[in-house]
Amino acid sequence: MLNDLTQANLFELAGDFVQVSFGSTNILGGPTLSYRDQTTSQAFRGNAIAIEETVLGQEITVTLENVPDLRIVTFTLVLPEVTVMQQSAGTCIQTFGVKVANPMSIAGPLPGPQKLYRVTPLSGTAQFIVS
């Protein structure tokens, strides 16, 4: 039975009007991430996704918006390592995502915080799929 355990590679998560799907591999071999909230729906793959191993787990970051001389908005999904049965519907997990707005100006830093955070609790499933 222990031989049937493997690392999850597909995560379907939602919370507070945010839906995120992350696959660490796809048929082309690279990661994919889809993000949807009340104002945007975007899909990312390959080099458009930054993945970093940290003490919190994997931090998966994408750029949602880049408006020169106004702001850059990123979304970071924090994923723990999840072990699942290969032939199962997955396991329930809870984690969070952080949307970060970085105000900018050609004139230099604006007064006030240089990063504005919105933390969203997320819950859903982690499973293993054959790609």
The answer, yes or no, to whether residue 4 has pLDDT greater than 90, is no
User: Given pLDDT bands bounded at 50, 70 and 90, which one contains residue 68?
Assistant: confident
The answer, yes or no, to whether residue 9 has pLDDT greater than 60, is yes
Handedness of CA 102, 104, 109, 113 (dihedral sign): negative
**Average pLDDT over every residue of 47-53:** 96
Residues with Cβ within 8 Å of 19's Cβ and at least 6 positions away in sequence, in order, are: 13, 34, 35, 36, 37
Q: By the 8 A CB rule, do 76 and 102 touch?
A: no
The answer, yes or no, to whether residue 53 has pLDDT greater than 60, is yes
What pTM, to 2 d.p., does this model score?
0.89
Rounded to whole angstroms, the maximal C-alpha distance in the chain is 62
The answer, yes or no, to whether residue 111 has pLDDT greater than 60, is yes
User: Given pLDDT bands bounded at 50, 70 and 90, which one contains residue 23?
Assistant: very high
- pLDDT for res 131: 67
**Average pLDDT over every residue of 3-14:** 90
**Average pLDDT over every residue of 37-58:** 96
**Average pLDDT over every residue of 70-99:** 92
- pLDDT for res 3: 65
- Partnered with residue 125 across adjacent β-strands are 12, 92
